[in-house]
Structure 1
């Protein structure tokens, strides 16, 4: 049976600000919904395992749709996936054909340098699996190295949360780094669409989305890639 590993942050606070953060709920729920609709089982993992915080702004009425509410009100989703996420030591990469790094500003702290998650992703990819990531979750790719020791993103086409979108958020000077800048420095061919509109880039078995509104389309691209 095909399985996907959804990777989420444990970080509940901006590093530079007394401001709550965590996962952006839509990035998790909409990807998960596509997996469910296609009969793909999912597990949730985080850098430390255990509790997964939700960015409170992603719970605003205007930010949530029917899919978000369906998951938010689902006891197994809250009490198992988010309250008891797997730690990297719990994971056998051979069990998964897809790994998906969800965003939210929390991921900016515990994704980019996480060698354990990078190793899991590399193993899945080298086993002909798919690496997918969305928004700030794409920053997890910065920790991955190819078998030749080079940056995994070097020479690859991808996208992530853009400098323009962070500026529109008013957080350019408050975040730890700008994913667009760091991915470009690592040698990625960065592509971006209109701010806060869905935009997905597919580079073989690497699939990335620009922002929270891209999560469904990232999921659909994963399904398409699995069917090849």
Structure 2
């Protein structure tokens, strides 16, 4: 059975600003738990490999389920301390790729060509490209062999401009994911701010905000189970 690849950030702060950011913990753990519970194996990759920092604000939204997964030696070792580097990944081993969010991804996801190539190959192999919240930044510049943007002409969602304003980070981010996606020809859809929402369009599955990781995972599992069946 092929595996699911989870992409995490290595970014510690908001660009040159002395303010900490990193992975939004629940966006990784909630997704990973559902995938593992469904019987699928997962690997973790980051643009540089190795250490993955946590956004300290995400620790305010921890329940027992998130904490149990976070404290596991597997997650601590394979995700946070020793994430794989892109050159350690064979795309043919994976049936899906998932980009977790946290504001840090806006600096190291968009222009990481090696991970873009991994995602493109998974997609071309018939696999799924998925993301939640700011994780969409990893999809923005993925191109197909036709040189067309992967998200062009597809319905997608992500952390909206209004949610960025509500989060108080609109002056710290280098761009707005919603606007960047629309400029690349995506059909952007959304629901009310901070409500769970995920959408599928073909092989693309995207979630709107931090509360949508489980919805993305459930959609992906549904599709993977169909492929096996």
Return the TM-score normalized by structure 2: 0.97
Give the aligned partner of residue 81 of structure 2: 83
Give the aligned partner of residue 217 of structure 1: 215
Cα offset for 1:12?
A: 0.8
Which among 94, 97, 101 is matched to residue 95 of structure 2?
97
- Kept in 1: contact 2:43–2:78 (CA 8 A): no
Q: Distance in 1 between matches of 2:81 and 2:172?
A: 28
Q: Distance in 1 between matches of 2:122 and 2:17?
A: 35
Give the aligned partner of residue 37 of structure 1: 37
- Kept in 2: contact 1:205–1:225 (CA 8 A): no
Aligned residues: 226
Q: Distance in 1 between matches of 2:41 and 2:145?
A: 29
Match status 1:68 vs 2:33: no
Q: Distance in 1 between matches of 2:79 and 2:135?
A: 18
Give the aligned partner of residue 203 of structure 2: 205
Cα offset for 1:151?
A: 1.0
Match status 1:134 vs 2:132: yes
Which among 191, 194, 197 is matched to residue 196 of structure 1?
194
Where 2:131 maps in the other structure, the secondary structure is: strand
Where 2:140 maps in the other structure, the secondary structure is: helix
Q: Distance in 2 between matches of 1:81 and 1:25?
A: 11
Where 2:9 maps in the other structure, the secondary structure is: coil
Q: Could you list the runs of 4 or more consecutive aligned residues of structure 1 that deviate by over 6 angstroms after TM superposition?
A: none
Match status 1:50 vs 2:50: yes
- Kept in 2: contact 1:198–1:217 (CA 8 A): yes
Match status 1:144 vs 2:142: yes
Q: Distance in 1 between matches of 2:79 and 2:146?
A: 35
Q: Distance in 2 between matches of 1:189 and 1:162?
A: 13
- Kept in 2: contact 1:94–1:124 (CA 8 A): yes
- Kept in 1: contact 2:45–2:86 (CA 8 A): yes
Match status 1:21 vs 2:1: no
Where 1:17 maps in the other structure, the secondary structure is: coil
Give the aligned partner of residue 3 of structure 2: 3
5+ residue gaps in structure 1? none
